[in-house]
Amino acid sequence: MFGPLVTLLICSSAVARQVNISVDAGCSVGVLPPIARFFGADEPNEATTPDGELLLEHLGDLGPHQTYFRTHNLLTTCDPPGDTTPRLKWGCTDAYTEDSEGNPIYNWTIVDGIFDTYLERNVRPYVQIGFTPKVLASDPEPYTFLFNATNTYNIIFTGWSHVPTSWQKWGELVYQWVRHEVELRGADEVNSWYWEVWNEPNIGYWNGTQEQYFTLYDYAVANVRRALPTARVGGPEVAGGPDGDWLGLFLDHTINGTNNATSGEGSPLDFISFHAKGLPTYTNATDTVPGHLSMNVSASLQNVRDAFAVIASYPSQKDKPVVIGEDDPDGCAACQSQAYSYRNGLIFPSYTAVAFSRDIDLAARYGINLEGTLTWAFAFQDTPYFDGFRVLATRGIDKPIMNVFRMFGKLTGDRVVANSSAQLSLDAILADSVRHEPDVGVLAAFNQTESKLAVMIWNYHDDALPKPDAHITLDVSGLDDRWQGCQSANLTHYRIGPTHSNSYTRWQAMGSPQDPSAAQIAELKAVGMLQTLDHPRQVRVEHGRVELEFALPIHAISLLILQQ
């Protein structure tokens, strides 16, 4: 869907823009946080489908740092009972029901299957404790819903979003869950997970008050810790950055509020989480400009900035790990519109490179311990090829967006000084996104253990319109500080672009088949992986320097690896 809009992205004018990029491999500015290793989705049951299992395998291979997965609906009741058929924005596990006398019945079979699927593929749970089982919901009907890509979003906020009728039963449910996981998998394994309470309790996902959410949190966290005193707990996964004073009031409660479960002061909080979203729009055609998509990375970065500012204002909290629990270009993975037509092509990965690198810059500015940024995108089984949903893969074929995470997975070690003559300042992007000149940016890291320099360079603009290529002149210095007496290095140049690491343009070139042959599917799967621009080669190192030149199309990304 929306293919013609994205096709515009592969066009470029003949006049390239000269961009000079310098990297000082010998000048470290601290460890580069491995943030791009968190993922999530509304639909937990998609994990155990064939496409879900394959994608989880790919996520688990991003390494070397641990991948985590977060999902809604791990405590949601199947409606009708036992029906775990995946559908948009819905999922269920039947983890909690009651007998005719109101006694609890715990059933972890479906949850176990989901977590087993993660763990077998080197993915660990970022456990979301939610939502309300039907028999505990204070307003249970209607409980289920049928969502399609053009529905009004609010139809999803049904019985599962309501306050539990009994805090004691809610707390005991959480305790039994965590105890089960410890007995099944061992304390060491479960200690490596994240446990967070609910999703976006400041909007319709929570049909209760803020104070009631604090109670929900207190009972959940107290019972996680009752089952496993060393478990890692946090929240509140608030939407819209800090959402005014919402995040601050939550932090106040965890520091010195009255704990509704224990009557003590405060509530445990090991990590802080919030959400950030961009705001894409579609501009109709005029006499001079065709209709086109425009992204808005500043909307997301402003959410991040504002939340970081709140966290930094709390001396007792500012050093705690922070996870941006959803960090996406828009607010609805299961919705479709012209404003969401970026999802199949190159804008999605180049937007992500800009957003995540600037998240790191904002964390440095505010002194925040940024541990992760989570991409809310997964896969939908048996939907059309390149259907327009915000997913990482389509029918078992990785989209270009997957390859930016493969690139981030190779950026390890210490961040080193890197500058581009065409990289916009952080403040400029915060104020006006990337509306004028493209942002030709750079992020670089040196891994001492692997004796490897990795340099990521992107050419990004908010608009899905043709733009000139960037002609890159890359000057790497400081290698003599790392490689004494080295006269040559191995160069591997990875590229996400119009003809590399891009299953979407290859599918279009095939005629956009919805019933591709086995040979076509194999070809699409191959080009969906991260590809090199050319063959690896030796380059000369002179006086600790390497100079390289190449063209970088609009919305393309290069990752250059220099290694002894």
Q: What is the DSSP string of 219-253?
A: HHHHHHHHH-TT-EEEEEEESSTTTTTHHHHHHHH
Per-residue pLDDT of 513-525, as tens digits, reads 999 999 999 999 9
Return the C-alpha torsion angle 484, 490, 496, 499, nearest 10: 150
Quote the pLDDT of residue 149. Answer: 83
Question: What single-letter amino acid sits at 564?
Answer: Q
Per-residue pLDDT of 449-508, as tens digits, reads 999 999 999 999 999 999 999 999 999 999 999 998 899 999 999 999 999 999 999 999
Q: Is pLDDT at 130 greater than 60 in this prediction?
A: yes
**Cα 139 from Cα 132, distance rounded (Å):** 10
Report the greatest alpha carbon distance in the chain. 80
395 band by pLDDT with thresholds 50, 70 and 90: very high
Region 37-51: what's the mean pLDDT? 98
Q: Is pLDDT at 5 greater than 90 in this prediction?
A: no
| Per-residue tokens: 491 | 């160069």
Quote the pLDDT of residue 458. Answer: 98
Q: Three-state SS string across 462-504, please?
A: CECCCCCCEEEEEEEECHHHHCCCCCEEEEEEEEEECCECCHH
Q: Is pLDDT at 264 greater than 50 in this prediction?
A: yes
Quote the pLDDT of residue 151. Answer: 80
Q: Is pLDDT at 11 greater than 70 in this prediction?
A: no
Per-residue pLDDT of 144-164, as tens digits, reads 999 998 788 999 999 999 999
545 class by beta-carbon count within 10 Å (0-12 exposed, 13-18 middle, 19+ buried): middle
Using a pLDDT cut of 70, give the percent of the chain over it: 98
Quote the pLDDT of residue 44. Answer: 98
Q: Are 342 and 352 in contact (CB under 8 A)?
A: no
Q: Is pLDDT at 309 greater than 60 in this prediction?
A: yes
Q: Which of 23, 117, 149, 136 is nearest to 76 (CA)?
A: 136
Q: Is pLDDT at 9 greater than 60 in this prediction?
A: no
Total residues found in the chain within this entry:
564
Quote the pLDDT of residue 392. Answer: 98
Return the C-alpha torsion angle 243, 248, 253, 256, nearest 10: 180
Beta-bridged to residue 18, according to DSSP, are 471
Quote the pLDDT of residue 432. Answer: 98
Using a pLDDT cut of 90, give the percent of the chain over it: 95
Quote the pLDDT of residue 6. Answer: 37
Per-residue pLDDT of 410-457, as tens digits, reads 999 999 999 999 999 999 999 999 999 999 999 999 999 999 999 999
Quote the pLDDT of residue 485. Answer: 87
Question: What single-letter amino acid sits at 278?
Answer: G
Quote the pLDDT of residue 10. Answer: 37
- Please tell me the pTM assigned to this model: 0.96
Quote the pLDDT of residue 8. Answer: 36
Could you give the 3-state DSSP secondary structure of residue 520?
Answer: helix
Instruction: Give the sign of the dihedral formed by CA 390, CA 391, CA 392, CA 398.
Output: negative
Per-residue pLDDT of 357-379, as tens digits, reads 999 999 999 999 999 999 999 99
Region 31-42: what's the mean pLDDT? 98
**Cα 111 from Cα 118, distance rounded (Å):** 11
Q: Are 40 and 97 in contact (CB under 8 A)?
A: no
For 339, which DSSP code? Answer: G
Report the DSSP pairing between strands 369-376 and 38-41. parallel
Region 269-295: what's the mean pLDDT? 96
Q: Is pLDDT at 332 greater than 80 in this prediction?
A: yes
Region 51-62: what's the mean pLDDT? 98
Region 50-56: what's the mean pLDDT? 98
**Cα 120 from Cα 477, distance rounded (Å):** 42
188 class by beta-carbon count within 10 Å (0-12 exposed, 13-18 middle, 19+ buried): exposed
Beta-bridged to residue 104, according to DSSP, are 98
97 class by beta-carbon count within 10 Å (0-12 exposed, 13-18 middle, 19+ buried): middle
Measure CA of the first residue to CA of the last residue in the chain; give whole Å: 45
Q: How far is CA 302 from each of CA 275, 299, 472, 491, rounded to the nearest angstrom?
A: 11, 5, 29, 37
Region 99-127: what's the mean pLDDT? 98
Region 290-304: what's the mean pLDDT? 97
Q: Which of 401, 432, 395 is nearest to 296 (CA)?
A: 432
Q: Which of 556, 564, 551 is nearest to 16 (CA)?
A: 551
Could you give the 3-state DSSP secondary structure of residue 15?
Answer: coil
DSSP H stretches of helix in 108-209: 109-119, 167-185, 187-191
Quote the pLDDT of residue 14. Answer: 56
**Cα 158 from Cα 149, distance rounded (Å):** 18
**Cα 376 from Cα 390, distance rounded (Å):** 8
